[in-house]
Structure 1
Amino acid sequence: MSAWTRVATPPETGVDFGPGHKILTSRTGRFTLRLELRTMLVCSVLAIAGIALALYALATGDFTLTLGEVVRTLLGQGSEQSELVVLTWRLPRVLMALLLGAALGASGAIFQSMTRNPLGSPDIIGFNTGAYTGALLVILVLGGGYLQVAVGALAGGLATAAMVYLLAYKRGSQGFRLIIVGIAFSAFLASVNTWLILRANLEEAMSAAIWGAGSLNAIGWEQGVPALLVTAVFFAAAAALAPRMKMMEMGDDAASALGIRVESSRLLLMVVGVGLTALATAAAGPIAFIALAAPQVARRLARTPGVRMAPAAVLGAVLLLASDLIAQRAFTDTALPVGVVTVSLGGAYLIWLLIREAKRQ
């Protein structure tokens, strides 16, 4: 018999998880595993869509390949020309779009769950802006390379998170206060970023401004491999903290009653969420609205009572890859920064979300 068996009752927390779930427990009863069937189905469908988009991105462009040629090249059976096009030019960009989109989606899910507000995403609260400030200081003041920029973006994001948390702290950190303080601090940092660019020489200022739009145009294996390794660490930490995140959605008092250390868990979640955002900012610049839209759209698709990290990450990957394809294919003469597309789509989504929240209240 399997070490896992199906049981009809939820775990001993007393929480009713509702229909559409399977609760698995070990023979000893010491471990439980809850499966949300619709969430798993949504993740599977989105993953298939992401694979289809990735194959399309690898096959199309200035040099068109068939699907069979792409598959053979990925299996190591392609020609030298197809290996150059697929493996060297296109594959790093596709993988980074999926990776960074997943990072932004997961980060958005963390902050929206933590604040219990659909506006509580890192680009609204200001952590994207703080990571951009850290990267700009390294680029324009210190003249650092890619790894130094990555460290600067992470340090800027964490410093911004610390400042927002301290300014919003009053007998605990409430979600609405975090958002308000984050928006104000983001406006301050945006003015600092503008001042840094205006004081730089023309060449550095143009380079920083283009990078600040959020672009995957210069992505290669040099950026992809370090980003993959760092992301694996942050995703492992996010997976470990996901059960606490679900409990904290019920409120601080309920989470404390279930044995969750609320403030320490909130701090750990903030570090992981800021790390994922800073990683994306360091690799491709500040890409807006993926972290805002992906968790809420995934929540509606999966019909979950709260924000879930897994579907948000998968949808974020699909959204960023689709946006990058639009940025590359919308105009034949030039490739747009992907941030231009995400801002255009995300701006419309933000307007709809604000109107919806206003009507609800």
Structure 2
Amino acid sequence: MTTELAPAPGPERPAGAMPPGRFPGRLAYRLAVPPVSGVLSPRLLGVCAVLAAGTFAVFWVGISVGDISLPLPDVLRALAGAGDPGTRLIVHELRLPRAVAGLLVGIAFGVSGALLQTMTLNPLASPDMMGITQGAGTAVVASIVLGWDFGPGTQFMGLLGALTAAVLVYVLAWKRGTTGYRIVLVGVGVAWICTSATDYLMAHGRQFEAQAALGWLVGNLNGRTWQQIGPLALTLAVLLPAALLLGRQMRTLQLGDDVARGLGTRVQTVRIAVLVCAVGLVAFGTATAGPVAFVALAAPQIAQRLAGTAFPPPVASGLAGAFVVLVSDLAARKLTPGTELPVGIVTGALGAPVLLWLLVRANRAGSGG
């Protein structure tokens, strides 16, 4: 007579948890409502925490520093509605809108760059390189030259211009479907067309409007108002969750279109959805602060290198974008005493070496042509 011994029961797993050991070094999760599952990397969580802490610190420094330096306790009292009336005016009407605009614009550009780079499998893909930013810029410059004030009208024009450029890129890149490589190449051509149109509008506009458009085209956070920030905040509230929900489908695109279709991914539908999210973020970010150069290109690559992931993580990319914009704006205010540089000049100076590094890296890997 033999007796079979049953294995001792292991510790009970909480509802929704995935089997241990299936994802070593990762934290797996499954949510019932909405039906979402995935794997979190402790390193990625740590990177997001560090970037969030750094962004938070620079945000408060940006509110405190200026022509008149304000101690942090005075800033906190002003935010609570107490303290000196002059301090409240400086904080509520000047520095806080500028800091919030920099935060939201950086998040929008960082996430949009991550979406496009993941969709195209190309680290050089960004709204700056694909004509989307230029399309929004051309439309906004047209509205400025026509004499419109900054506000909902210019933001709507920015969205219209970005959508037009994106549709043009997608249609011209279509050949029994699209590929990331064709989208990038066509996007570069559309970017040059939009840049030429912007130059024409600047040359034929009246001097006052042309000067206003020129200051905006560099990328500027100075003088931002709550009215300009509101539409961008609403856009982020809608499109950020959509971008996160698209993450799993985007990862299957890295396996190639045929494999992705075999796994049940609707390749062209996913690409269109990603493009719509990226365009919306870029359009309202550009309409708020102008085409702040290189943030959408550099922030996803910074986040990817820090997190050690195979693709730019959207949340970390957004935080990296916010950090880059806020640090650049702080530097723009302090680099030249008595004069404030537009934030786009500083981000351009920081982003150009990143672009050169990516080009050299792509050539060494045999993918740069």
What TM-score comes out, normalization by structure 1 length? 0.92
Which of 331, 352, 358 aligns to 1:353? It is 358
Q: Secondary structure at the match of 1:122?
A: coil
1:329 CA drift (Å): 1.1
Structure 2 unaligned spans of 5+: 1-12
Question: Which letter maps to 1:255?
Answer: A
1:217 CA drift (Å): 0.7
Q: Go from structure 1 to structure 2 and tell me whether the alpha carbon gap of 1:206 and 1:127 turns closer, same or farther (over 3 Å shift).
A: same
The answer on 1:159 being equivalent to 2:175 is no
Q: Aligned equivalents of 2:155 and 2:221: distance in 1? A: 15
Q: Aligned equivalents of 2:37 and 2:176: distance in 1? A: 34
Question: Which letter maps to 1:155?
Answer: L
Greater shift, 343-352 or 240-249, is seen at: 240-249
Kindly provide the CA deviation profile for residues 317-341 of structure 1, in whole angstroms up to 9, marking residues without a partner as x.
1001111111111111111111111
Kept in 1, the 8 Å contact 2:148–2:154? The answer is: no
How many aligned residue pairs are there?
353
Kept in 2, the 8 Å contact 1:43–1:314? The answer is: yes
1:276 CA drift (Å): 0.5
Which of 2, 19, 23 aligns to 1:7? It is 19
Alignment of 1:41-80 (within 5 A): 41-80=46-85
CA RMSD of aligned residues (A): 1.9
Aligned to 1:220: 225
Which of 129, 132, 155 aligns to 1:124? It is 129
Alignment of 1:60-209 (within 5 A): 60-141=65-146, 143=148, 145-209=150-214
Q: Aligned equivalents of 1:207 and 1:27: distance in 2? A: 51
The answer on 1:255 being equivalent to 2:264 is no
1:76 CA drift (Å): 4.1
1:5 CA drift (Å): 3.0
What TM-score comes out, normalization by structure 2 length? 0.91
Kindly provide the CA deviation profile for residues 103-123 of structure 1, in whole angstroms up to 9, marking residues without a partner as x.
000000000001100011110
Question: Which letter maps to 2:328?
Answer: S
Q: Secondary structure at the match of 2:17?
A: strand
Q: Aligned equivalents of 1:319 and 1:221: distance in 2? A: 22
Question: Which letter maps to 1:158?
Answer: L
Question: Which letter maps to 2:192?
Answer: A
Q: Aligned equivalents of 2:119 and 2:170: distance in 1? A: 12
Kept in 1, the 8 Å contact 2:75–2:91? The answer is: yes
1:195 CA drift (Å): 0.6
- Greater C-alpha Rg: 2
Q: Go from structure 1 to structure 2 and tell me whether the alpha carbon gap of 1:346 and 1:117 turns closer, same or farther (over 3 Å shift).
A: same
Q: Secondary structure at the match of 2:67?
A: coil
Q: Secondary structure at the match of 1:125?
A: coil
Aligned to 1:38: 43
Aligned to 1:299: 304
Q: Secondary structure at the match of 1:151?
A: helix
1:306 CA drift (Å): 1.5
Q: Aligned equivalents of 1:203 and 1:80: distance in 2? A: 34
Q: Go from structure 1 to structure 2 and tell me whether the alpha carbon gap of 1:218 and 1:144 turns closer, same or farther (over 3 Å shift).
A: closer
Aligned to 1:335: 340
Kept in 2, the 8 Å contact 1:3–1:26? The answer is: no
Kept in 2, the 8 Å contact 1:20–1:38? The answer is: no
Which of the two has greater helix per residue? 1
Aligned to 1:245: 250
